[in-house]
Structure formats: C-alpha cells, structure tokens
C-alpha cells in the first residue's frame, strides 16, 4: 500500500499565498517494510507537493481564532447508547465551532495560519446535565372542619409547592384533597340564597343631562358680588371691621383651592348587589328579602396625574476657565410644576437636573492664570488641586555618632634643646616627648588630650655629635696587641635627630677616641661591652634615680705567667646614672572652644532668608589655655615652653540667620447658602509655615488661623406646609343616588377636601416647589366623611386619657358623649354597640439594665504614649499601659421592650480597666572586652561577644542571629607589631669548665644566661610578660656548650647579626632559579637559611562603628601580612625592604543598617456607628503603617484597628399589623375590604424578627414608610366567598431559596423561590366549577442545596428533605426500598455486580471494559504499569492507572508488547556477540572508576624531618600564574 508522511513546512520567497510544501510518498509492504514504487498502483499515488500559505510574523495582526458559542449539553448516553437511571446528574459534552478568520472581513482561512501563532482552542468540553426534577410538595395539612353545620358538606386538606418542576420533571400534583362530611341532619329548610355585593367601579364624574340655562343658579362670583352690595347698603363699617372681613375673604379663597395646581374634582363610584343560589347561579333580589341592601354609590376623588412644563434651556457652566486638571463644572435646567397628583395619579418627575460641563469658546482663559498667581503669592489651596502622589511627611535620617579621640603611646624623651634654636635668648632648655593622634575626633583636635610634654633642663643644645659606631681597636706603636684606641664614627644631628651638615656642630665637643685593649697571647680575652640597658627611671627624684648597666664576658682565661689576668666579676659590669633630670613635667592644657561670636572687625551682613548655606560673617572662637604641672596643677605660663603652646583664638563661620517664612492667607472658606435652625456658621482662612526661624532669625507670627462669623441672612429660609380647614362633606349627586338608601335625607358617606399652602418660617407664602424640596411630606388633601342620617347615632370624639396618679398603680379612662337627638334614641344608648368610656391600666415604667455584646478592645486614654527609655532606633514609641475596655449596656422596660439607656440612668457602657502589655525587646549583654590578638606577630583576629539575657515578647524588637549557645560574636582583624614583644637575654655567665685543665685553664665549658620575654616600647623593653607572647623560634639560647680557648689559641667574639639578604625574590624571579637555589641550600647544609617573602591580604572585617554607635556609617578594614616562605608571619619591614609594596586598599566605607521601628500614623477619629440603632453597633478607628520596620527594629503590631460598642439605641420602625378578616357590609359574601394598622414597633436590630408595638410618638421623627416603601396601604379589597363557592386560598409563604445542585455543588442556574394557591370547595356538586390551582416562582440569591432521601422502615416509608421536612416528589422512585433494581441485561461477567443505580459495575481492583454500545464486556484487573500492545483490538478502557486512555495506540506488525530495536537475543534464543563486548567494556569502566576513587581518598604520607643542629626552614612556593612554567 502507499504510505505518506505529514506535510512539511510551507516554504517560499514571499509571505502569503504562493508557497509550497512537500511530503514523502512511498510504497510499503503489508509487513511494514518499504518496497519499490512499481509494486504499488501508480494511479492511486497521492501528490507529494501542494501549494500553501506561507505565514510571516506580521500575519498575527491579520488573523485570529473566532470562537463560537457552546452548543447545548448533549448527554454521553446519546453517543454511547448506554442508558440508566439519573440520580445525581448526567455527564455530557458541549461543542462549538472554532475557525481561523481574517479580522478584516471575518472570512475563514486555513487553520494552519492561526496555529502558527497560537494552538487551536478546544472544540469540546465536558458538561453536567441535572436530572429531571419533579415538583416537590409538602405534606397535607389536617382536614378542615365541615363546610356545613348540617346536611352534606365537604372537608379539605391542602399542601403547598416547595420546589417547582425543572428539566422535564413531573408536574405538580393536586394541592387539595376533598372528602364529604355530614355533621347532622338539618332540622328545617336550608338557606340556599345569599346576597352578594360586587366591587366598586372606577371613579367617574356625574353626567349632566342638559347644560345650565339662564334660570339656573348664579355662579359663586355673582352671588358674592350681590352679597357684598347688599352689605354695603346696610352702612359703612369701621376700618377694623373691614380688615377682618378682608382677611376672612383671603382665608376663604385659600380654602377653596381654585388654583389649577390644586384642581381636585369629586366623582362617584357604583357597585352591584345580586342574590345568588348555592350552586352559583344569580336569581332575583326578591329571593333575598331578609337582607337590607347596602349602599351602591359613594363619593370619590378623581385621580389625576402630575403635570409639569417643558424643560427650560441649560444654564451657564459654573466653571469659567479651561484646564483638564481642574474638576469639571456643572450646568442645570429646571421645569415648572403645573398640577399635583391626586388619588393615586402618577407622581411628579424630577424638576431639576444637572450635568458636568467644560467652558467652551475663544474667550475662555486658562485656569493656569489663576494657579500661577496662587503659586507666586504662596497661597494655600485645596489639596485636591494638587495632582500626583502626596509627598511623604517622614523620612529616614542619619545622625553621625561622635568619634572619640585616640592617641599613640608617648615617644622617648628627646635631647635637651632650646625652645627656639633661632632665638637662643635664655639658656634654659627643655626635653620634649610627643604622641600623635591616631583617630581624629568629631570636634577636631581640641577634644584630644595634650600631645606634648616638656621637662626643663640645663645646657641646651640645638646640635650635637651622634656616635654611629667605633672602629676596630688599634694597638699603639705598631704592636700586635696591648692597649690601643678606637676611633669613633660620628654624625651631626639636630634636636630632632635628623642628620645635618657637620659645620653645625663646630661649637660642640667632638667625641674623642676610646681606649681599648687587644689581648695578647696568654692574656685574658674579654668580649666587647654590651649596649647600655634602658634607663630604669624616666626621671630622678629623691627616692628613685635612673640607672643604666652594661656588661662584658670572659672569652678566654690568661695563660698564667706573663699574661694579664682576668678581672674579677665586678669589673665585668658597669653602672651609670641616667635621666638625672628631676621629675618635673609640664604641658599645656586647653579648655573647650567657646561659641562662635561675631567679629566686630568685619561688617558683612549676617542675614540669609534662603534655605541654602550662604557664606555669612566670619566670627571668632576662644578657649582657655593654661600651663599644668603634672601631679600638681596649674602653674604660671612661663613654666611651659612657648613653642608648642596651642592657639587660644581661631576664626569660625557664623551660622546664617534664617527668618521665618509663611505663606499668604488662603481664601476665606465659603459660607453656606442656607442656615439650619438659625445656627450661625463660621468661615476661616489659614496660612502655613514654610521655613522655621534659626540662629536668631525673625520669629513666626502668632496668628496662623483666623475665623469669623458668616453674614446671617435677615430671614433664614425655611419652608413648611400649612393646612387649612376641611371643606364640607360632598355626597354623590342626588340625581344619581335618588333610588338608594338615605337619598331623601341628604346623608351618608362622602368626601371632603382642604387646602394646603407652602409657607416660609416667617409665615409668608412661598412656592409649592420649595416645600416639595425642603419640607416634610405633604399632608393629605382629602378624606372620607360621613353625614349622619336621622337614624344614625352621633358621638363626640374620644377625650384624652385621664392622668395616672403613679406608675403601675390604678387605671386611666377616656370618654365620649352622644350628640343631639342621639341622646334620646334607645339604640344609641346600647353601651356594647356605642361605648361611651374606655378604661386601661396605667403604664408601668419599670426598667432593668444588663450588659450585652463582647468587651471592646483595650483602649488607652488619649495621649497615653510611653517612651521606651534607652532606645536608639527611629520611631521607638510604644503604646502600652493601663487602658479601658467597654461593654454596651441595654435597658428594657417591664414588657421586655428596648428603651433608651437613659431610662436606666446609664451612659450606655460598662467601663473596666485593662492592661495593654508593653513590648519587651530582645535584651543582650554588653559587649565583652576584646580578646588579645590571636597572633603576637603579624595579622590575627580579636573576638568579643554578647549573650542573650531576655527573649523578646509582646511584639518587641527581635534578636539578631544567635548561635546555638544564644551568643553573637564580632571578629575583627588585628595586627601585632612583631617587635611588640621581644626576647631580652642577660649577659652570659662565667664559663663553667667541665673538663678543667688546671695548667691551661681551658677546655670544654658551659655558659648560661637568663632569657625573658618583655614588652618593647619606644624607651626600650620595660615589663616582663608571658613567654608565649614572644616567638619561640627566635628565643635566644639560655645555655651554650663550647670549648674555652686555651692560651695561644685564636679567640673569636660572638657572631654579629645577619646582614640583610642580597637575594631579592619577587613575582618576576625565575621559578627554576628559585628551585635550584632551594636545592643548593639544602645540600650544602649551610647555616644561613634563605627565605623569600610575600604579602598576604586578609578578608574584610565586619563593619566597625564608633564606640557609641549601633548603626550607620562605619569602616571595614583588612590587614596586610608579610609572610615568610615557611608560612611564618614576620614584620612588614621585610616585605618593604624587598620593595613588594602595592597600593592596597586597606580601609573601605560601609554601612550598618539601622534598626527602624515600625512607624504608625495616629489613630483616626472614631467612625460613625456601623448601625444607627440596635445592639450590634460598633465604632472603629484605624491607623496605617507610615514606615515599615527594617533590620532588627520592632515589628508592626497586628492590631491596626480598634473598636468599641456604640451606645444601644432602640430601633423604631413603622410596621403593618396583620390584615383583618374580609368585611362585607350587611351582606354574606362578595367584594369587601380588609384593613390593617400602621403601628410603631421597637426591636433590638438583631434581625431575629422579634419586635414589640410601642407608642406612635416614638416613631414621630421617622418618615412613614414600611421597608422603604413610602406608599402606605392600610386597606384593600378582598372577596368573601359565598356559601357553596369553590375558590382559591391565599398565597402560601415563599419557600426557602433553592439552587440547582449536583452532588452538593451549585450549578450555573438562577436560584428560585416558589409559592402556591390551593383550591377550597364547599359543595360536592360544585367541585367541577373549581378554578385551577396556581404556583409562582421568582429568582432569589444565596440559594441552598437540598437533598432528598427515603426514610422509614419496610412498613412505613416517606421522603425527607435534608432540612428535615417531609415532602412528596423529591426522592427517586428507582431507589425506593423494596423495589426491583435488577440490571437489564443481567450482570453475568466475572467480578461484576449490579449497582443501586441498576448499572453493571466491576468489583474493587477491576476496571470496566465496555463495548461500542456502552455495555459491560469484561472486568479486567487494574495493572500497576500497563503498556498498550500493538495487537490490542479491544474496546475502550474506562479506567487506567498507568496510561492516558485517550491516547491512540500504535498498531505494528510482529511480536505483541514493547518493540525492541536492539535485540540482545538471536533467533536461536542465545545472546549475541556484541552483548559480551558491551559487558566487558562496562567492567573495565567500573575498575577505572574504583581506582580513581581510591587514589583520591588515600591519605598522603607525612614527610620525614631531618634532625640536626641547624634546622632548615621549609621554602613555601607560591605560584601566582605570572611565571612562565
């Protein structure tokens, strides 16, 4: 067969159509291998090339995927054919169209174009289809009483709908069940007729049969004019009477409401009254003679809609300048009110409206003009005019820590010299010693101790001869031995020790030759004198004198006769006095510098109002300089040398004066356009300080804020409604009601109206629109009225209740009385029908208080901020200490109704002291003292430590990083002067000859001496210290064994010190030469050990701060060590002599992050109460993080807001009472009215629905509205069924909100509520005439998920919803206990069973293999790892733990299972040869790896040291990469 490969990439020279792509086409054998093309049918060979669309990157903007909408969810069962019982929901698949389209016109394109940029979106997705939900109803209510007291009647029981049918579920069943009943047999004739009244018709105006004629009654205007003329003829009245008549006429005119705005018309309504049979048929009224007919007409107010005029034109824009950054202005328009609505007419629309605007036109100035003026004038404006981010009001700053002065040790005393060698006036001299500043302090050298001390001395000299060395001893008279002289080598030096010309010392005594002795043979041979030791005292006193000592030793004894004998022991030592000057030391002592004061010699203006550092007046500073004698005190200045005297006056720069700078005053704030209750308002202005005064500049003004009263209008505008007298009661016209009851008496029910006007607070008439905007709700303008008929009883209104003498004691009454002829009528005297008095118990005002709610947060009193003493971090302010917490109090009356807390004499809170714990920081010990430098020579380290004393708690500053011992360390490098500690050897003792030749006095002998480690100073070795501080390798020998020379032997002195090495080895020295030299030095075993030296840099130290600093800018250092080739640190001079110096950076600036405590803003003001009333109101205050903590600063507290309860206020509201029963006047059935009251209720606002009725006065301040609805409805029409009628009940309550759920998960369907109306029947024969039952749904929110489950036992089974109510219709019938749930076809496969859903399933550990029709074919074990085989032709696998069942398997010829391309076994089943070769190679590789590991881990042998008297120093070779190997 012919096989093809996928199409290759589209190729071409240009983008778009015109490209080409190719693919491979070959002829394949059925077994899979490729064969010749001729073996396949060429006529069916497909093309191997085709044209294509070459996609380029810019095509991305032209093409895109277009996604269609998801189609309806199709159940999988429709695809597989597998059906079953739906229990939880059915899985389905949704599809949609996905096309690659050209964006310009939406035409489709090749999918490969869009796939080049983005993968093709999915076209299918899983979905879930809910199961069909049957209608669910509640259980039946109990049976009602029988509809008849005698004869055959009906009983009813009803149920309501709780869930509507959804998704094709079964409809709702009958909500009503009937059963007949017969309480007893009727004893007479049953009443079969009833008087039924209909509803009132629409209100309409009476129809006039003919227009009025000239003989008709004159108009009101004509009658008034005729009446006025008649009164004028009776005589003129006085002016007061005329004013009274005029005011009365005005009142009457207002009462008449003749304005179109109050145009109210009185119409009438009618209704029908019929007689009906029990079976529902209408009969003649004569069949109902035992009832009196009710009123069939009544007056009514004609409904009229609100009428307004057209909109006026738009006004001008309130914004007069052009700038987009300034808020927009507004313009408005209005319309006039023409007529107010009456009796349910449409309400008036909005009379005013406004919209945002920007000024337009060429003459509009930019707002920048005004803004620039404000900037120049430095006038504060509203912060809203400033755009962008508000600048921060806090920032971190660095306070440099003071640097303490550090000085070096004192130097040696110098020679006696003049104060000034140029002026040798006085013969008195001084010896000086000096020290230098090693660390300059913050305030300059003035904060350092004195640096020069002086001792007076005699015979001063500016220049002197200095002995360099003595020449060899030359015997006299050309003798080989004997007495001789040593010539001194000298140089001329000044008082500072610097060599000068020899001519400067001509006045000084030149050192003479020193006598010496060259021992002759047989003479006693002595060594040279040692150097004079350090003077034992720095000065001389009566108790202490300075001494110096030098010694010499016997090198060889004399030979007896003829030779000079050796001196005694005392002659081997010499002592001389030194530092004979008295211990009188003087020095200059300085005081602190004074303040910089203005130098009057200059006249520069010392004022600067700018903020920069301007050059101002030069001033002077002075300080006190005194001469001090050590251990005595101040002495006259002439005792101290004048040359090193410090200065007492120095120039300084005076700080510039800076005056206070303030802005100009802002504009006055605007006054309100209207006043409230006559309250006076204020306006204010302010200015801001820009620069505070410093250094004596002009102070800031005292007044930064000004306010003044606003100009109060002469008449504070305010509006109110004024009601006028009710007009007389208007009845239905007699022409219409002439046949009705009371038509002859002109009595009955009517309507009366009254006038309403709008007044200002001063009583003047105002426009009605103002009252509609600013006044309270408009009073009613009409009300029903009753004109009594002759037979009616007339009573006065109820009086007020009589007062109570005390609370909770006695009763109170109110009364009314009969009026007119009613007093004589017997029916009016019936106290049950017309009670004349009412009595009620006096109110009992007993109140009890109790706490409610939780305690508030602990709140500190205002201003309680405790500073944490001793803290050195920014913003270290802690809020802690004693505060108070609050709990709300609630007050109830004797009826457990909530009242104001003032009734219980409470301010609304219980107050209790509480403690806000203070944060405790991590406490560490002080730093320990620095340890001694770890090395006595060269670079080492010093260590100091701190340890934990107390852990932090309550949000204190955290501890720095500590080790496992709760300690922290600081390690710094240090350098020990290699000459700081030196070995000091005393002279050798006299030879102790062990093998004595008495004749010769020579032979083998031993010398000893004492060797001590001493502290070396500029004055020489002073104190003895521990031996470990000195280098043990340099320790001189304490004993030596040698041979004491015999007479006539050559006697040699000790070796002199080594001269400096002439071999210079540096980085450029040839490496092979070093190696050669090193080898020669070892082979020759020479006493001279040659070394080379190199610098070694240490690591940087930690950042070191000044002694009083804990953070900020510091210094990090590193040390330079001179290392000898054997690795030993030596003095830096050895590396310096070899000129190995480089410009190393040994110090660098560093910064230690300062611990910054969390900075918080101030607490905001307490918010308004979260609830206007009730028990659960809370007030909050909040603060924000201004600066987050850094480093080891105290973290921000978790409490960023606090709350406290609001005072409990009762929640009053208007609430409807229950509807009364349907009342139909004087008849049995028909259309009637039901009523309800609007009462004032109080509750605690908890939302539990509990409320109590209270006096209406408590709701007087509330707008009359129920649940936000201002349309108060206190009566409505209703229908009272006639005997025998079949009718619908009232609507049931809305069911709980229910969502569509599957397995407890909400689906994307709107939750609903449902309510229903059931049918009630009274006569068995009228059941067929009953109306249909009804149910309604409405959307809701926050729906619940309900589940239904069969409950009970085999004898009694019912369905129950998850909220506990018993229902009908929710549980699946297939799961009803006891029903047959067998599977069809039966589950006969191994390891299969029939589930509760009636589906064949596999047991645990097995998976289902389904046929193409969705039926179970077999149950297979679930493998741990399953690889699809090439020959698997079975159906789809439902579950797999190892592979993705959606991936297609590849069918390949040959052996089933995994295909190996390298077969280790041959056709005969034996291993192939190449397998053995691979195994051998692997073995060799393993041996090599093991060998390498062994060699790498093997420990090297220790080198053997050669022991001899002259130790060889190992030579360390350091290769730095510069030497050419």
Q: What pLDDT, in 10s, does the model give residues 670-694?
A: 876 655 544 567 888 888 888 888 8
* Candidate from 358-372, 532-546, 834-848, 946-960 with smallest mean pLDDT: 358-372
Q: For residue 876, what pLDDT is reported?
A: 45
Helical (H) or strand (E) element with 695: none
1098-1106: long-range contacts at Cβ-Cβ below 8 A with a sequence spacing of 24 or more? 1098/939, 1098/973, 1099/973, 1100/1148, 1101/971, 1101/972, 1101/973, 1102/970, 1102/971, 1102/972, 1103/1150, 1103/1151, 1103/1152, 1104/972, 1105/401, 1105/1152, 1106/401, 1106/402, 1106/403, 1106/404
SS3 annotation, 381-416: CCHHHCCCCCCCCCCCCCCCCCCCCEECCCCCCCCC
Find out whether 521 and 562 touch, Cβ atoms under 8 Å. no
CA distance 673 to 154: 73
1493 class by beta-carbon count within 10 Å (0-12 exposed, 13-18 middle, 19+ buried) = exposed
pLDDT tens, position by position, 992-1025: 776 655 556 677 788 888 898 988 876 677 788 8
CA distance 1418 to 1387: 10
Q: Is 796 helix (H, G, I), strand (E, B) or coil?
A: coil
CA distance 80 to 1298: 33
* Candidate from 251-260, 819-828, 1034-1043, 1370-1379 with smallest mean pLDDT: 251-260
* Candidate from 966-980, 1203-1217, 1293-1307 with smallest mean pLDDT: 966-980
pLDDT for 1437 beyond 70: no
Direct distance between the N- and C-terminal alpha carbons of the chain, in angstroms, rounded to an integer: 71
Find out whether 1449 and 1428 touch, Cβ atoms under 8 Å. yes
C-alpha closest to that of 1037 among 1090, 994, 1089, 988: 988
Q: For residue 997, what pLDDT is reported?
A: 54
pLDDT tens, position by position, 703-721: 888 888 887 655 556 788 8
The whole-chain average pLDDT of the chain stands at 78
For residue 301, the tally of other CB atoms under 10 A from its CB is 22
Find out whether 1459 and 1452 touch, Cβ atoms under 8 Å. yes
Q: Is the peptide bond before 1385 cis (omega within 30 degrees of 0)?
A: yes
pLDDT for 446 beyond 70: yes
pLDDT tens, position by position, 211-252: 444 444 455 556 666 666 655 555 555 677 777 776 666 666
* Candidate from 69-83, 337-351, 1441-1455 with smallest mean pLDDT: 1441-1455
At residue 937, φ and ψ (nearest 5 deg) are -140, 125
Q: What angle do CA 215, 216, 220 make, to 5 degrees?
A: 125
Q: For residue 294, what pLDDT is reported?
A: 81
Span 652-678, average pLDDT: 77
Span 577-591, average pLDDT: 85
Percent of the chain with pLDDT over 70: 80
pLDDT category, 291, cuts 50, 70, 90? low
* Candidate from 678-687, 1312-1321, 1380-1389, 1431-1440 with smallest mean pLDDT: 1431-1440
CA distance 1365 to 839: 47
Q: For residue 1078, what pLDDT is reported?
A: 31
Q: Is 954 helix (H, G, I), strand (E, B) or coil?
A: coil
pLDDT category, 571, cuts 50, 70, 90? confident
Span 440-457, average pLDDT: 83
For residue 657, the tally of other CB atoms under 10 A from its CB is 18
Q: For residue 225, what pLDDT is reported?
A: 64
Span 825-832, average pLDDT: 81
Assign residue 696 a region (left: φ > 0; alpha: ψ between -120 and 50; beta: otherwise): left
Q: For residue 913, what pLDDT is reported?
A: 92
pLDDT for 157 beyond 80: yes
Q: For residue 995, what pLDDT is reported?
A: 62
Are β-strands 881-892 and 898-899 bridged in parallel, bridged antiparallel, or unpaired? Answer: antiparallel
* Candidate from 173-182, 197-206, 574-583, 612-621 with smallest mean pLDDT: 612-621
Does the pTM of the predicted model rise above 0.75?
no
pLDDT tens, position by position, 53-84: 888 888 888 899 999 998 888 877 665 555 55
The larger pLDDT score, comparing residue 1134 to residue 1481, is at: 1481
pLDDT category, 1428, cuts 50, 70, 90? very low
CA distance 1139 to 310: 106
Helical (H) or strand (E) element with 485: strand 482-486
At residue 385, φ and ψ (nearest 5 deg) are -80, -15
Find out whether 138 and 173 touch, Cβ atoms under 8 Å. no
pLDDT category, 1445, cuts 50, 70, 90? very low
pLDDT category, 642, cuts 50, 70, 90? confident
CA distance 94 to 1089: 95
CA distance 369 to 362: 16
C-alpha closest to that of 605 among 661, 660, 651, 656: 656
CA distance 684 to 688: 14
pLDDT for 1431 beyond 60: no
pLDDT category, 871, cuts 50, 70, 90? very low
CA distance 1469 to 620: 113
Neighbour-count burial for 1164-1195, b at 16+ CB within 10 Å, e otherwise: eeeeebeeebbbbbbbebebeeebebeebbbb
The larger pLDDT score, comparing residue 1481 to residue 479, is at: 1481
Q: 72 Cβ partners below 8 Å, 6+ apart? A: 94
The larger pLDDT score, comparing residue 1491 to residue 1295, is at: 1295
Assign residue 1395 a region (left: φ > 0; alpha: ψ between -120 and 50; beta: otherwise): beta
Q: For residue 191, what pLDDT is reported?
A: 74
The larger pLDDT score, comparing residue 1301 to residue 1081, is at: 1301
Span 1084-1095, average pLDDT: 48
Span 114-132, average pLDDT: 87
pLDDT tens, position by position, 942-985: 888 989 999 988 888 888 888 888 888 888 888 777 777 888 88
Q: 1300 Cβ partners below 8 Å, 6+ apart? A: 130, 133, 166, 1306, 1307, 1309, 1311
CA distance 524 to 527: 10
pLDDT for 1519 beyond 70: no
CA distance 124 to 350: 53
Are β-strands 649-653 and 625-629 bridged in parallel, bridged antiparallel, or unpaired? Answer: unpaired
C-alpha closest to that of 781 among 757, 755, 751: 755
- What token pair was written down for 257? 């409401």
C-alpha closest to that of 1029 among 1078, 1092, 983: 983
E strands, 1244-1352, are: 1252-1254, 1275-1280, 1287-1288, 1301-1302, 1305-1306, 1312-1317, 1319-1320, 1334-1339, 1348-1352
pLDDT for 259 beyond 90: no
CA distance 1061 to 1090: 8
């Amino acid at each position: 067969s012919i096989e093809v490969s996928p199409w290759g990439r589209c190729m071409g020279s240009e983008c778009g159509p015109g490209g080409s792509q190719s693919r491979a086409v070959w002829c394949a054998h059925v077994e899979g291998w490729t064969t010749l093309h001729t073996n396949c049918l060429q006529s069916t060979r497909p093309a191997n090339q085709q044209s294509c669309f070459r996609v380029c990157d810019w095509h991305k903007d032209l093409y895109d995927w277009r996604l269609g909408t998801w189609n309806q969810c199709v159940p999988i069962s429709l695809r597989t054919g597998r059906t079953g019982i739906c229990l939880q929901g059915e899985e389905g698949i949704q599809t949609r169209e996905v096309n690659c389209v050209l964006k310009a016109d939406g035409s489709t394109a090749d999918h490969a174009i869009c796939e080049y940029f983005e993968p093709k979106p999915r076209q299918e997705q899983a979905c879930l289809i809910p199961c069909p939900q049957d209608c669910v109803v509640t259980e039946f209510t109990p049976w009602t009483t029988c509809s008849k007291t005698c004869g055959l009647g009906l009983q009813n029981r009803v149920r309501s709908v709780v869930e509507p049918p959804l998704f094709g579920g079964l409809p709702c069943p009958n909500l009503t069940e009937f059963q007949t009943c017969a309480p007893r047999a009727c004893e007479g004739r049953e009443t079969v007729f009833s008087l039924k009244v209909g509803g009132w018709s629409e209100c309409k105006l009476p129809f006039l049969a003919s227009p009025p004629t000239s003989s008709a009654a004159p108009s009101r205007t004509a009658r008034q004019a005729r009446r006025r003329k008649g009164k004028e003829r009776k005589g003129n009245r006085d002016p007061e009477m005329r004013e009274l008549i005029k005011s009365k006429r005005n009142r009457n005119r207002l009462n008449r409401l003749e304005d179109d705005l109050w145009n109210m018309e009185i119409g009438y309504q009618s209704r029908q009254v019929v007689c009906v049979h029990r079976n529902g048929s209408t009969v003649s009224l004569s069949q109902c003679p035992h009832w009196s007919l009710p009123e069939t007409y009544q007056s009514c107010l004609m409904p009229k809609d609100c009428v307004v005029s057209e909109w006026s034109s738009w006004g001008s824009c309130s914004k007069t300048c052009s700038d987009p950054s300034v808020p927009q202005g507004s313009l408005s328009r209005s319309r006039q009110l023409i007529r107010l609505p009456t009796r349910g007419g449409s309400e008036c629309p909005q009379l005013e409206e406004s919209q945002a605007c920007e000024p337009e036109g060429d003459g509009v100035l930019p707002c920048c003009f005004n803004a620039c003026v404000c900037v120049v004038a430095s006038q504060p404006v509203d912060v809203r005019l400033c755009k962008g981010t508000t600048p921060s009001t806090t920032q971190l700053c660095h306070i440099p820590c003071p640097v303490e002065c550090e000085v070096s040790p004192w130097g040696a005393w110098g020679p006696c010299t003049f104060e000034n060698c140029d002026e040798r006036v006085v013969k008195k001299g001084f010896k000086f010693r000096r020290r230098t500043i090693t660390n300059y302090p913050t305030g300059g050298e003035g904060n350092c101790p004195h640096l020069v001390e002086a001792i007076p001395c005699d015979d001063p000299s500016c220049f002197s001869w200095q002995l360099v060395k003595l020449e060899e001893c030359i015997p006299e008279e050309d003798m080989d031995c004997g007495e001789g002289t040593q010539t001194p080598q000298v140089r001329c030096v000044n008082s500072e020790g610097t060599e000068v010309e020899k001519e400067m010392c001509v006045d000084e005594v030149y050192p003479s030759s020193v006598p010496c002795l060259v021992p002759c043979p047989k003479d006693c041979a002595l060594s040279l004198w040692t150097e004079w030791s350090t003077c034992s005292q720095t000065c001389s006193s009566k108790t202490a004198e300075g001494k110096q000592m030098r010694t010499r030793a016997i090198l060889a004894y004399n030979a007896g006769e003829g030779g000079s004998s050796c001196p005694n022991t005392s002659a081997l030592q010499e002592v001389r006095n030194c530092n004979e000057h008295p211990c009188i030391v003087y020095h200059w002592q300085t005081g602190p510098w004074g303040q910089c004061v203005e130098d009057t010699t200059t006249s520069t203006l010392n004022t600067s109002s700018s903020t920069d550092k301007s050059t101002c007046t030069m001033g002077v500073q002075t300080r006190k300089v005194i001469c001090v004698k050590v251990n005595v005190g101040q002495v006259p200045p002439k005792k101290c040398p004048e040359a090193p005297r410090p200065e007492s006056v120095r120039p300084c720069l005076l700080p510039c004066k800076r005056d206070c700078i303030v802005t100009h005053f802002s504009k006055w704030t605007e006054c309100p356009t209207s006043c409230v209750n006559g309250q006076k308002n204020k306006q204010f202005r302010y200015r801001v300080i820009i620069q505070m005064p410093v250094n004596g500049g002009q102070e800031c003004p005292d007044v930064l804020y000004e306010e003044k009263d606003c100009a109060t209008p002469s008449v504070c505008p305010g509006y109110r409604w004024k009601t006028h007298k009710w007009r007389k009661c208007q009845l239905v016209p007699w022409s219409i009601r002439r046949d009705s009851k009371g038509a002859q008496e002109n009595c009955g029910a009517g309507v009366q109206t009254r006038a309403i006007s709008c007044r200002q607070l001063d009583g003047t008439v105002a426009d009605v629109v103002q009252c509609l905007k600013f006044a309270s709700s408009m009073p009613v303008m009409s009300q029903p009225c009753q004109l009594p008929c002759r037979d009616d009883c007339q009573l006065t209104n109820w009086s007020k209740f009589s007062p109570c003498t005390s609370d909770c004691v006695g009763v109170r009454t109110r009364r009314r009385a009969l009026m007119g002829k009613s007093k004589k009528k017997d029916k009016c005297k019936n106290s049950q029908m017309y009670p004349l008095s009412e009595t009620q118990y006096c109110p009992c005002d007993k109140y009890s208080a109790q706490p409610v709610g939780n305690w508030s947060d602990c709140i500190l009193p205002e201003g309680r901020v405790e500073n944490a003493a001793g803290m050195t971090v920014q913003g270290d302010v802690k809020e802690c200490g004693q505060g108070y917490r609050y709990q709300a109090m609630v007050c109830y009356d004797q009826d457990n109704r909530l009242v104001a807390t003032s009734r219980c004499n409470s301010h609304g809170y219980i107050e209790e002291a509480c403690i806000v714990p203070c944060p405790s920081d991590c406490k560490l010990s002080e730093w320990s003292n620095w340890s001694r430098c770890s090395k006595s020579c060269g670079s080492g380290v010093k260590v100091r430590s701190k340890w934990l004393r107390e852990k932090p708690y309550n949000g204190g500053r955290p501890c720095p990083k500590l080790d496992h011992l709760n300690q922290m360390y600081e390690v710094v490098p240090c350098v020990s002067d290699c000459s700081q500690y030196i070995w000091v050897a005393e002279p050798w003792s006299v030879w102790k000859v062990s093998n004595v030749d008495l004749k010769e006095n020579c032979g083998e002998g031993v010398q000893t001496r004492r060797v001590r480690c001493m502290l070396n100073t500029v004055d020489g070795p002073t104190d003895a210290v521990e031996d470990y501080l000195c280098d043990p390798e340099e320790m001189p020998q304490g004993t030596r064994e040698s041979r004491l020379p015999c007479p006539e032997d050559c006697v040699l002195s000790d070796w002199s010190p080594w001269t400096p090495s002439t071999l210079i080895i540096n980085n450029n020295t040839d490496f092979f030469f070093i190696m050669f030299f090193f080898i020669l030095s070892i082979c020759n075993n020479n006493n001279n050990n040659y070394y080379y030296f190199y610098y070694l840099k240490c690591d940087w130290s930690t950042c070191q701060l000044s002694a009083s600093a804990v953070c900020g800018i510091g210094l990090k250092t590193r040390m330079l060590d001179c290392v000898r080739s054997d690795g030993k640190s030596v003095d830096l001079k050895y590396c310096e002599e070899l000129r190995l110096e480089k410009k190393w950076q040994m110090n660098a600036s560093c910064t230690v992050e300062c611990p910054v405590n969390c900075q918080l803003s101030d607490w905001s003001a307490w918010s308004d109460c979260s609830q206007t009333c009730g028990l659960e109101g809370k007030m909050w205050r909040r603060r924000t993080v201004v600066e987050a903590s850094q480093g080891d600063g105290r973290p921000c507290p978790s409490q960023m807001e606090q709350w406290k309860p609001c005072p409990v206020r009762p929640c009053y509201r208007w609430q409807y009472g229950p509807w009364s029963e349907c009342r139909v006047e004087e008849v049995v059935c028909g259309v009637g009215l039901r009523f309800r009251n609007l009462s004032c209720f109080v509750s605690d606002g908890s939302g539990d629905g509990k409320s109590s009725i209270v006096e209406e006065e408590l709701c007087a301040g509330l707008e009359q509205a129920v649940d936000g609805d201002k349309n108060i409805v206190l009566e409505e029409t209703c229908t009272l069924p006639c005997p025998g009628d079949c009718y619908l009940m009232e609507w049931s309550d809305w069911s709980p909100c229910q969502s569509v759920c599957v397995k407890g998960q909400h689906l994307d369907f709107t939750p609903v509520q449902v309510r229903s109306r059931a049918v009630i029947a009274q006569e068995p024969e009228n059941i067929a005439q009953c109306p249909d039952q009804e149910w309604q749904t409405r959307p809701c929110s926050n729906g619940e998920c309900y589940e239904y489950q069969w409950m009970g036992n085999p004898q009694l089974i019912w369905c129950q919803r998850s909220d506990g109510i018993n229902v009908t219709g929710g549980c699946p019938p297939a799961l009803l206990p006891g029903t047959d749930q067998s599977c069809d076809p039966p589950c006969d496969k191994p390891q299969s069973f029939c589930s509760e859903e009636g589906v064949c399933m596999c047991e645990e550990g097995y998976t289902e293999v389904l046929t193409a029709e969705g039926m179970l074919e077999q149950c297979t074990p679930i493998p741990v790892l399953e690889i699809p085989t090439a020959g698997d032709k079975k159906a789809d696998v439902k579950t797999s733990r190892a592979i993705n069942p959606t991936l297609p398997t590849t069918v390949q010829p040959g052996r089933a299972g995994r295909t190996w391309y390298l077969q280790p076994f041959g056709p005969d089943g034996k291993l192939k040869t190449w397998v053995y070769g691979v195994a051998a190679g692997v073995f060799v590789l393993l041996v090599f790896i093991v060998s390498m590991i062994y060699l790498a881990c093997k420990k090297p042998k220790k080198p053997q040291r050669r022991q001899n008297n002259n130790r060889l120093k190992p030579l360390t070779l350091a290769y730095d990469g510069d030497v050419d190997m």
